[in-house]
Amino acid sequence: MNTFTMLRAFCDAVEQRNGKAFSELFTEDGIYHDVFYGAFEGREKIAGLIDDWFYRTATDFRWDMHDPVSDGEMLYARYTFSYRSTLPEAQGARAMFEGVAIMRLRDGKIMEYHEVANTAPAFVDLKFAPERIVKIVAKQGAALKARPEMKRHLV
């Protein structure tokens, strides 16, 4: 599967709440490191991330990948991601953020997915209190810094 086809299938599976199709893009031992929810290892847990976690407090997902670059072993793509929140304080607001997807590939499948994202604007869209945003962003930053494999991707 070429890069563009894989990325479209990746985004479509999320938008269609199809965890099975999403997880099949990964190796059996694949790991998805989500900027909000942490690590999900193996196809069953990765499928659950989409079917259960993503849709627990959101709906109407839209995910687009832009300007992918790959050497067959690594794949980088800038992305835009949005959803409609079902959290009471969000009052149905649409949250949007941008990020970079970083994927290690093996035999044409995703072995490991990481992302670096600017999530703060989404929390403002969701009408989170400023002190709550500061806590969330600080926690995400600390978690990212604690992952030594990500240091080469941080500027």
Q: Is residue 116 a part of any domain in this protein?
A: yes
80 compared with 120, residue with greater pLDDT: 80
Look at residue 32 and give its three-state secondary structure: strand
Domain around 38: 3-145
Q: Is residue 107 a part of any domain in this protein?
A: yes
Torsion of CA 115, 120, 126, 132, to 10 degrees: 110
Q: Is residue 155 a part of any domain in this protein?
A: no
E-strand stretches of 4-150: 26-34, 38-41, 58-70, 74-85, 94-106, 109-118
Q: Is residue 153 a part of any domain in this protein?
A: no
Q: Is residue 138 a part of any domain in this protein?
A: yes
Number of domains observed in the structure of the chain: 1
Q: Is residue 150 a part of any domain in this protein?
A: no
pLDDT digits (tens, 9 = 90+) for 95-149: 998 999 999 999 999 999 999 988 777 777 877 777 766 776 677 666 656 655 5
Q: Is residue 154 a part of any domain in this protein?
A: no
Residue 23 C-beta-side C-alpha neighbours within 13 Å: 18
Query: In CATH, what number is assigned to the domain containing residue 55?
Result: 3.10.450.50
Asked whether the whole model's pTM tops 0.85, one would answer no
